[in-house]
Chain A
Amino acid sequence: MTIASRQDSADSGSRQLMLSAANLFCERDDRILFQGLNFEIEEGQVLQITGSNGSGKTTLMRILCGLNDGYRGMISWYGKEISDQIENFYQSLLYIGHRVGVNKVLTPIENLRWSCCLQTQIEDERLMEALSIVGLRGFEESQCFTLSAGQQQRVSLARLLVSPAKLWVLDEPFTTLDLRAVEQLENFVADHAGAGGAVMITTHHDLKITNLNKLDLG
């Protein structure tokens, strides 16, 4: 995807509202993390969630994904309440959290096969190709405990390349990556937004992405 086409889709004006949150309230251990929080994500948008440590970035993402139900407020997916169409939503969601979901005794290809199969049927050639793009060529058949933390993170990033999900929710995806991989991931994110997808991302890293929206939790 080139920069030009990215601009095209940004200017087309026909972007649909994907996810919206209204009046979110979350309390944890008698401390209010956020209240009256409103935000929207449109197709083609990258939303960076910022805030100091412990400000509730991860909690917010887990709430949006349905992993945490300790909140009040309304979350909608394409205009309809999310809990009424949770299967639709999960079919379009790709979440990568702090714990990346890579089993250590399995090989990268086995991990990828399983995590993709939860959502979509994908042929092995495409999975192999995705692994080589993220720099794991030659490691496809090594068990993951022999790989470094950054390489394990890359296994989860390979999912970004093969998943049909429209919304990516990435929680601190840069932590263990080297500089080249960071740049590569930024490109993945920009391309995904250019193709009409949306990305929610938490990071303290300065993203080099045009059309970046920010949500500050303080």
Chain B
Amino acid sequence: MMVTNPTSTSAAFLSMLKRDLLIAYRRKNDVVNPFMFFFIVVSLFPIAISPDPEKLGEIAAGVLWVAALLAGLLSMDNLFRADYEDGSLEQLLLSPHPLYFMVLAKNISHWLVSGLPVVLVSPLLAYMLNLPAESYMTLFLTLLLGTPVLSLLGSIGVALTVSLGSRGLILAVITLPMSVPVLIAGTLAVQQNLNGDALAFYLAILGAMLLASIALAPLASAAALRISVN
């Protein structure tokens, strides 16, 4: 028969990553939506609360973090939906490679497309909200460490709900409670920085959360996907 040359897991991982980035590139609104949402939500606060720079500076970190969390949630649903509907997800489950890496590849490409732009633009919006300049770097770092955690946790919720016909708010109900520790650590870190205290502790906590969720969340997502296609 044919000469067979089985794919290595790393090649399958890269192929998965490439495919998802290509799909994101073709479906540009998926990329722009969370970004625009983030921008709009943040710009509503000065209008609704007060344009007073003092007040804005106080709430800036919290506003940016909550907006980033909601923007991430908004885009989460795309993660497995299309693949579930067109049957690609079944093919993924039937691949000889560990599902962990396949799910991780999907998570990474999803974060690159929907999380990273939000992180990159956050200093600009922080400037708009009059966050003290010395905290830009802290905000940027905490978001850089925190948004991948939010994506990874969200992916578990998406995997659990992908086969439900009408999901409505259930994804938010599952995901948001899990996200609270990240939100607390992220906003506290910026607060510490504003007070002039050391923030290594909070960054370490966020880093630990990131490593733990990279190690564990794809496993949970993979198990949830197997249940969802059952």
Contact = CB atoms under 8 A, between A and B. Distances in A.
Tell me, yes or no, whether A binds B: yes
Nearest to A102: B86
Given A99-B85, A106-B23, A120-B5, A67 B16 contact: no
A176 interface: no
Given A100-B86, A101-B91, A103-B88, A118 B97 contact: yes
Interface residues of A, number: 37
B188 interface: no
Most buried by B among A98, A101, A110, A113: A101
B90 A121 contact: no
Query: What secondary structure prevails in chain A residues at the interface with B?
Result: loop
Interface in B1-54: 1-7, 11-12, 15-16, 19, 22-23, 26-27
A127 to B, nearest CB: 13
Contacts of B15: 113-114, 117-118
B96 interface: yes
Contact of B6 (A99, A106, A115, A119): A119
A67 B228 CA distance: 10
A87 interface: yes
Given A118-B92, A120-B7, A103 B2 contact: no
Query: What secondary structure prevails in chain B residues at the interface with A?
Result: helix
A41 to B, nearest CB: 17
A70 B229 CA distance: 12
Interface in A85-113: 87-88, 90-91, 93, 95, 97-106, 110, 113
Interface of A: 65-70, 87-88, 90-91, 93, 95, 97-106, 110, 113-115, 117-122, 143, 164, 195-197
Interface of B: 1-7, 11-12, 15-16, 19, 22-23, 26-27, 82-83, 85-88, 90-97, 226, 229-230
7 contacts: A67-B229, A69-B226, A100-B86, A103-B88, A110-B22, A117-B15, A121-B7
